Amino acid sequence: MSTVKYSNEHEWIRVEGDIGTIGITQYAQEQLGDVVFVELPQAGRKVAKGEACAVVESVKAASDIYAPVSGEVTEANAALGDAPGDVNAEPTGRGWFFKLRLADKSELDGLMDEAAYAGFVKALA
């Protein structure tokens, strides 16, 4: 069973076992507009919670993607190199950015569940 959590930087993490898949939320991709380029971290890179570890560029702006938890990158979504628009089309599906092996599962406790994130986004409007 997977668990999905959200950061206040608009990243999501879907956790299955000790691996987390990370991407940006529907709200984030709507704010960015059409995504034209994605820079992803290399497998083997160790990242700290809150560290900028990827970049997404759109027709509007370039934005850092932050690690919602600490860990080691196990895989990057290479398909985004040829199809960055997948981030817009399916931000929580095939538009994922990278996967990492969690260093400390307790860091997930500081993230929001879906209901809390929905309230967070509503408060931004």
Distance CA 118, CA 84 (A): 25
pLDDT for 117? 98
Give the C-alpha separation, 108 to 17, whole Å: 13
Q: pLDDT tens for residues 34-68?
A: 999 999 999 999 999 999 999 999 999 999 999 99
Structural domains of the chain, ranges and CATH numbers in brackets: 3-124 (2.40.50.100)
Rounded to a whole number of angstroms, the distance between the first and last alpha carbons of the chain is 32
Token pair 């260093």: residue: 103
What is the maximum alpha-carbon separation in the chain?
38
